[in-house]
Amino acid sequence: MPLTRFSINSTSESHRIFWLVSVLAVLGVANGCGGPTVKRYPISGTVSVDGKPAERVMVQLTSTATSTGFNNDAYPSGYTDIAGKFVIGKEQGALGAVEGEYIVTFTWISGPELEAYDKLKGAYSLVAKSKERLKVPADGLKNLEYKLNGTGPK
């Protein structure tokens, strides 16, 4: 079966195609290809275990709303640094959390290797068992302080 070649025979045809493609591109950008944007508010603080700053603790927020409607906004998270400080959303590139109520869970990752485990043995990682709640107001929350017990909640 012979292959058919497409060719533009005139300059005016090429201009029409150029303008059509340009208009479609502009309409795509104007229509907001990136989807709706939501307002996020800064959330930061520290985590300590048995009174010492804890590095590599994942602080996970789980929205109590039945539907947030936008991407992963129902589960913003952050990781602690060597000083136990965290900033929600830093690793995801979407700093903060949307206004609302959340359940907070913690997983203390033993290290960067694939065989890493939760040093808290799951004591703080289950949403259904977590007693930590957080209400994110329109101005955000800074300097949160979570003091965890290495043997689990009391």
Of 56, 104, 62, nearest to 79 by C-alpha is 56
Does the pLDDT at position 36 exceed 90?
no
pLDDT-derived band at 133, boundaries 50, 70, 90: very high
Number of neighbours of residue 124 by Cβ within 10 angstroms: 26
- Residue 57 CB-half CA count within 13 A: 32
Q: Catalogue the long-range contacts made by 120-124 (C-beta closer than 8 Å, 24 or more residues apart).
A: 120/49, 120/148, 120/150, 120/152, 121/152, 123/151, 123/152, 123/153, 124/148, 124/152, 124/153
pLDDT (tens digit per residue) in 45-90: 999 999 999 999 999 999 998 655 555 578 899 999 999 999 998 7
Residue type, 28: G
Spatial separation of the C-alpha atoms in residues 137 and 42, rounded to whole Å: 10
Instruction: Tell the residue number behind the tokens 């292959």, with chain if given.
Output: 3
Spatial separation of the C-alpha atoms in residues 73 and 43, rounded to whole Å: 13
Are 55 and 106 in contact by the 8 Å Cβ rule? The answer is: no
Whole-model pTM? 0.72
pLDDT (tens digit per residue) in 113-130: 999 999 999 999 999 999
- What letter would DSSP give residue 11? H
Domains in the chain with CATH codes: 43-148 (2.60.40.10)
